[in-house]
Amino acid sequence: MEKVRFGLVGCGGMGTRHLHGLRELAQTPFGNVELVAVCDLRPQHAELAAAEAERLLGRRPAVYTDLEAMRHGEPDLAAVDVVTDPSTHHTVVCQALELGLHVVVEKPMAITVRACRQMLEMARRKGLLLSVAENFRRDPSARLVHHLVGQGAIGAPYMGLFHSVSPGNTIFITPWRHHKERGGALLDMGVHFTHMIRYQLGQIAEVHASARIVEPVRVKPKQAVWSYEFYRAQYQEMVEEVQATAEDTSLAMFRMASGATVSWMVGLGGHGSCHRELILGDRGSIEGFGTRGGRVSLQRVGQEEVSQEALLAQTPDFALDPLTAHLFPTGVTAGDSAVDLKLIAFELHELAAAISDKGRVEVDAEWGLKDVAALYAIFESSVAGRPVSMAEVESGEVCAYQAEIDAALGIA
Ligand SMILES: NC(=O)c1ccc[n+]([C@@H]2O[C@H](COP(=O)([O-])OP(=O)(O)OC[C@H]3O[C@@H](n4cnc5c(N)ncnc54)[C@H](O)[C@@H]3O)[C@@H](O)[C@H]2O)c1
């Protein structure tokens, strides 16, 4: 199989995990990506990634600190995997598209709705693929929930609950996740959740919300979150304290286009903890939206709860795509320590296949923009003190909260 030549742009924590994702892919019969180059503004990050790639993939990619130089140095390059921090996505992605490269960009698609729109329009103008690496949806549990809801297993969904609140005042992975104009923790994490709400329950019509900073000072955690060498090095140089400018706690009510309502409580701070995902329908309920590495179950009216394993056995018309089935032979990712890496493998394979077959990607720029808009609708509603419609936020008509970020980053 002719492999599609990729470059990795952004060799930080998640960039390192993408290298491990490439190894997962290379170990399957579906390997269709060849990593030829890595690029990071910080040469030591790019060098570390090149060494890691050589160890994992058996070939050392070329090292660059500038995307344009990478393009000229690698004339056969077809695509870039952009894993830089969110405030840079629009600049890096638009430059890559301008240079004629297809792109897969990590979530959130961009730092604001306006930045997303610049990317979407550039991809359209250039006729190139722009895929958003939203990994949660690729989890087999998400596929199963989507199938069950679509087949009417719980009747018509009328309500949902998405609660994910973890206490504490430590720095969440990186200091930039506490700065509003760099991409706060709620954007970083919450955009997965707005995506999952939309994937399982359809379009959001209106959002009424409140968001706040509960922990104004974030402190260095006692240890690094991941064991990779990059994260250990990043931990060593982490500042002791960060003054947070990004909200860490949010409460919202989403009114879906279908008429269903979703209760949202998402936060990373304070003193309480609360985790529950539930979809309620007029003939039953599903526990879990199907997030990465999660477990789901179904309860029909008057019947016992059915586990994910039993559901898979009882749902013969549900099938995973061949790569996902190969990566997760049991159809259950809960307890699989490599789930994150395998889902990355899927995303990179998908873009390479779409390039080869002149096909489409599942999570395109339209999806990415709407996920970011749904998340910002929370902040916009909080600032406006009223419910906001998604149409207002997606069009940019309501943007008081994001205007400050756009101004700081020069997003016109
Ligand atoms: N899908 C997931 O589960 C998941 C998990 C973690 C992070 N992410 C996403 O991945 C992205 C990166 O996050 P991270 O934690 O790796 O951040 P990070 O700060 O660890 O790494 C970002 C890297 O990008 C580099 N960089 C910045 N601007 C650049 C540019 N113009 N050109 C080249 N390199 C540049 C930085 O030097 C740094 O090495 C974010 O969008 C984040 O939300 C996704």
Instruction: Determine which residue's CA is closest to atom 3 belonging to ligand 1.
Output: 135
Q: What is the pLDDT of residue 226?
A: 79
Which residues, 6 or more positions from 265, have their beta carbon under 8 angstroms from its beta carbon?
Answer: 162, 163, 164, 165, 250, 251, 252, 274
Cβ–ligand 1 contact at 349 (below 6 Å): no
Instruction: Determine which residue's CA is closest to atom 18 belonging to ligand 1.
Output: 12
Which of 39, 85, 103, when mutated, tests ligand 1's pocket best, judged by the most ligand atoms within 8 Å of its CB? 85
Residue 244 has pLDDT above 80, yes or no: yes
**CA distances from residue 75 to 31, 99, 101, 123 in whole angstroms, order as listed:** 22, 11, 11, 20
| Residue 100 binned pLDDT confidence (cut-offs 50, 70, 90) | very high
Closest approach atom of ligand 1 to CA 134: 1
In a domain, 173, yes or no: no
CA of 82 to the centre of ligand 1 (A): 8
Closest approach atom of ligand 1 to CA 45: 39
Between vectors from CA 288 to CA 286 and to CA 294, what angle results, nearest 5°? 140
Q: How many domains does the chain have?
A: 1
In a domain, 14, yes or no: yes
CA of 92 to the centre of ligand 1 (A): 12
Q: What is the pLDDT of residue 148?
A: 98
Closest approach atom of ligand 1 to CA 183: 43
Structural contact between residues 371 and 195, judged by C-beta atoms closer than 8 angstroms: yes
pLDDT in tens, 42-95: 999 999 999 999 999 999 999 999 999 999 999 999 999 999 999 999 999 999
More confident residue, 232 or 45: 45
Cβ–ligand 1 contact at 13 (below 6 Å): yes
CA of 395 to the centre of ligand 1 (A): 27
In a domain, 77, yes or no: yes
Which residue(s) pair with 300 in the sheet? 284
Cβ–ligand 1 contact at 71 (below 6 Å): no
In a domain, 82, yes or no: yes
Which of 38, 91, 98, 106, when mutated, tests ligand 1's pocket best, judged by the most ligand atoms within 8 Å of its CB? 106
- Average confidence score pLDDT of the chain: 97
The sign of the dihedral angle between the CA atoms of 45, 46, 52, 56 is: positive
Structural contact between residues 274 and 165, judged by C-beta atoms closer than 8 angstroms: yes
In a domain, 28, yes or no: yes
Cβ–ligand 1 contact at 9 (below 6 Å): yes
Closest approach atom of ligand 1 to CA 14: 16
Residue 64, domain CATH: 3.40.50.720
CA of 94 to the centre of ligand 1 (A): 16
Q: What is the pLDDT of residue 228?
A: 86
Closest approach atom of ligand 1 to CA 292: 3
Give SS3 for 82: strand
The distance from CA 406 to its chain's CA centroid, rounded to whole angstroms, is 21
The owner of tokens 């707005």 is 194
In a domain, 389, yes or no: no
Structural contact between residues 101 and 128, judged by C-beta atoms closer than 8 angstroms: yes
CA of 10 to the centre of ligand 1 (A): 6
**Sheet strands (E) in 46-200:** 62-64, 79-82, 102-106, 130-133, 157-166
Q: What is the pLDDT of residue 227?
A: 80
Domain coverage including residue 41: 4-134+359-363
Lowest-confidence segment of 190-194, 226-230, 337-341, 347-351 by average pLDDT: 226-230
d(CA 185, CA 297): 29
Structural contact between residues 301 and 154, judged by C-beta atoms closer than 8 angstroms: no
In a domain, 243, yes or no: no
In a domain, 263, yes or no: no
